[in-house]
Structure 1
Amino acid sequence: MRQYTAVINPAAGGSAGAAVLHPLARLLREAGAEVEVSYSRSLDHAAELALEAGQAGRTVLAVGGDGMTGRIGGALAGTDTVCGIVPAGRGNDFARALGLPTEPGPLAELLLNGEPRAVDAIRLTSAVHKDTAVLGSVYSGVDAVANQNANNSRLLRGSASYYMGALRAVAGWRPAGYRLTVDGTEYERRGYTVVVANSGYYGFGRQIAPAAKVDDGVLDVVVLHHVPRRMFFAVMNELKDGSHVKRPEVEVLTGTEVRIEADRELPYGADGEIDASLPVTARVLPGALRVLA
């Protein structure tokens, strides 16, 4: 029977996480499993707690949204620790890409009896991140600004915060000049954003890279070229089903290592968190994380 350490941050959506974790932990314990709960002070502290639990031979449960999942999963990438994901955030996009259940019963069944699956991670290298791994995607452009707005919203939550954050970001956006280096080949592009995707989803269920797979050892690079604002919103609407990639204004490249540079200071985000400014290099880590999915 597995032994679990659930890592949760009570200060960052912790009430939602606790509401999800309590019935799940009860079902796991009723089945005979041991469940302990570790409370983190920050994402970095959550990573430390996860590593400690993994070194003790425990299965680590990441309780929260994409930020918590990405930070814990990234920390465990390259280790033998098995990770379970308890979706309890706003977006839950990596959990969505894995097809994870959200109801306590089916999720408990998966955590108790599921076999670990090897999935890819992304290694980031920048002025701030020397050796940081994330799971879902890395993005720099209007979406990074929008996500920053959503994270800073005090009045709105969930999809509403993303929607209003995007409106504010687009209103003040001017096209950026990007230099992309994909597996050694350089591309000069001008547009709204560049997304390096391991998972097909980001931004609360939007299918930014519909062909992306979390276990193919390849990163999908989606570039949204400069278009009039009215067309931009049409493209954003098509993210619901991934049909935007059929437009000539949307370009998709693939590679194992991608460097993003820009002609002005731009933020980049990863797994729902705004971390630093360009340039950044993203490299795929094939099969680096063992996750119950």
Structure 2
Amino acid sequence: MLAVTADDHRSAAPAVPDGPVAVLANPTAGRGRHRGLLPRLLDRLGSAGRPVRLLEARSAEEAEAVCHEAVTEGIGALVSVGGDGTVHRALQAVAGTTVPFGPVPAGTGNDFALDTGFPADPLAAADVIAAALLEGRTSPVDLGRMTGADGTVRWYGAVLAAGFDAIVNERANRMRWPRGPRRYDLAILVELARLRPRRYTLRLDGVSHELDAVLVAVGNGACYGGRMRICPAADLTDGLLDVVVGGRFDRRTLLRVKPRIYAGTHVEHPLVRSFRARTVELSAEGITTYADGERALDLPVTITAVPGAVHLLR
């Protein structure tokens, strides 16, 4: 594995390393609707003429660990089959290295794969990845790197949520009943009843802002939650983070504005403010962030846009 420095990110894409293609597959992604496709996906990836190695993991933590191990052992590429959560685990291993990555969208939310130009159809995405492998072609895109108060570093590809959506996710993850999507729906109802603006401190490239807000998102990409365009102007290749803040919404206003996020028109609301920065320092009391839909770090965190931090097989 070769490390990539910040100065190297905008230079010519590195050659695709020799070695097998490691595949991280989540059979439960998208509620299992693509489970039967996996053998065909592996065949399509194998058409590039390289050995294909399926990584075995029984948990998200194991998935991340086996990806790190595969990169350390010298794989030629890493491919994820699943949604944004599977992408998130894989990115922790390939970010900042020359090991290229290909996301096959097979989850409920496939925001990173679709925002970076991969086909929505899993088989078509596998064909794109195989062709890139065969031709030795990669394309660099940015990632967000977050650093916690204790020095913990995590990477993300799409959006970091640090407001109402993160609070709902945290509530849903603590609940043991009901199971399935209804648990998330119940968590929304509970948190709507408790809705209140929180006081946030934002430092954007060193400039401080004190804000009362209900929604806070730091986007490397535009979408989260299954094509909700929370940061509609975000560009995965501009070396910047887009910060969208929804201010002192009451319940009625939040419920009116929330559907507009799918089209990205919520940013036109007078209570919504948008910013852009290379480095975002974000703090508030009692908030656990969610990145790519996955539980991430407690606030405060520092988020930095890292240009070309991952090389995509496309």
TM-score normalized by structure 2? 0.83
- Quote the Cα distance in structure 2 between the aligned partners of 1:254 and 1:91: 25
Gap change, CA 1:289 and 1:90, over 3 Å in 2: same
Q: 1:85: Cα distance to partner?
A: 0.5
The answer to whether the aligner puts 1:282 opposite 2:300 as a matched pair is no
**Cα distance per residue 1:219-256 (max 9 Å; x no partner):** 00000001221111111010110001111111000001
Task: Give the C-alpha shift of residue 13 in structure 1.
Answer: 6.9
1:43 correspondence with 2:60: yes
- Counterpart CA distance in 2 for 1:287 and 1:274 is 24
Structure 1 residues 31 and 80, CA gap change in structure 2 (3 angstroms): closer
Q: Give the stretch that moved more between structures: 176-185 or 228-237.
A: 228-237
What is the alpha-carbon distance in structure 2 between the residues aligned to residue 16 and residue 46 of structure 1? 20
Counterpart CA distance in 1 for 2:123 and 2:30 is 22
Secondary structure, in 3 states, of the residue corresponding to 2:36? helix
**C-alpha distance after superposition, 1:107-143 (max 9, x if no partner):** 2220111331101111111135522222212121111
What SS does structure 1 have at the residue aligned with 2:112? helix
CA–CA separation in structure 1 for the residues paired with 2:256 and 2:163: 17
SS of 1:239's equivalent? helix
| Distance (Å, rounded) in 2 between the aligned partners of 1:31 and 1:279 | 44
Q: Could you tell me how far apart the structure 1 residues matched to 2:252 and 2:38 are?
A: 42
Residues 177-216 of structure 1 mapped to structure 2, 5 A cutoff: 177-216=199-238
Q: Specify every segment of 5 or more residues in structure 1 that has no aligned partner in the other structure, as ranges.
A: none
Match of 2:117 in 1: 99
1:258 matched to 2:307? The reply is no
Secondary structure in structure 2 of the residue aligned to 1:39: coil
How much has 1:46 moved relative to structure 2? Answer: 2.4
- Aligned twin of 2:14: none
Aligned to 2:143: 121
SS in 2 for 1:107: helix
SS where residue 96 of structure 2 aligns?
coil
* Of 160-169 and 111-120, the range deviating more from structure 2: 160-169
Q: CA deviation at 1:165?
A: 4.0
Note the C-alpha offset of 1:16: 4.9
Query: What is the Cα deviation at residue 280 of structure 1?
Result: 1.1
Q: Is the 8 A contact 1:24 1:108 kept in 2?
A: yes
- Secondary structure of the 2:142 match is strand
d(CA) in 1 for partners of 2:191, 2:105: 27
C-alpha separation in 1, matches of 2:69 and 2:298: 30
Structure 1 residues 2 and 101: alpha-carbon distance in aligned structure 2, compared to 1, 3 A threshold: farther
Indicate the residue corresponding to 1:221 in structure 2. 243
Q: Aligned pair in 2 of structure 1 residues 212, 91: CA closer, same or farther (>3 Å)?
A: same
Q: Is the 8 A contact 2:77 2:100 kept in 1?
A: yes
1:87 pairs with 2:105: yes
Are 1:69 and 2:87 an aligned pair? yes
Deviation track 1:128-166 (CA, whole Å, cap 9, x = no partner) reads 552222221212111102223455675334xx7655543
RMSD between aligned alpha carbons?
Answer: 2.5
> Contact 2:21/2:53 (CA < 8 Å) preserved in 1?
yes
Judged with a 3 Å threshold, the aligned counterparts in structure 2 of structure 1 residues 163 and 128 are, in CA distance, closer, same or farther, namely farther
Distance 1:238 1:81, change over 3 A: same
What are the superposed Cα offsets for residues 156-206 of structure 1, whole Å, 9 maximum, x if unpaired? 34xx76555433322222210111111000001101021110010011210
Is the 8 Å Cα contact of residues 63 and 86 (structure 1) preserved in structure 2? yes
Q: Which residue of 1 aligns with 2:166?
A: 144
Q: CA separation in 1, counterparts of 2:171 and 2:39? A: 31
Gaps of 5+ in 2: 1-17
Deviates more, 1:69-78 or 1:122-131: 122-131
TM-score by length of 1: 0.89
- Give the counterpart of 2:263 among 241, 255, 267: 241
Q: 1:25 aligns with which of 42, 47, 50?
A: 42
1-structure distance, mates of 2:200, 2:123: 46
Task: Answer yes or no: is the 8 Å Cα contact 1:121–1:288 preserved in 2.
Answer: yes
Q: 1:75 to 1:29 in 2, by over 3 A?
A: closer
Shift of the 217–149 alpha-carbon distance from structure 1 to 2, 3 Å rule, reads same
> How many residue pairs align between the two structures?
290
For 1:18 and 1:143, the matched residues in 2 are separated by 28
Moved more, 53-62 or 3-12: 3-12
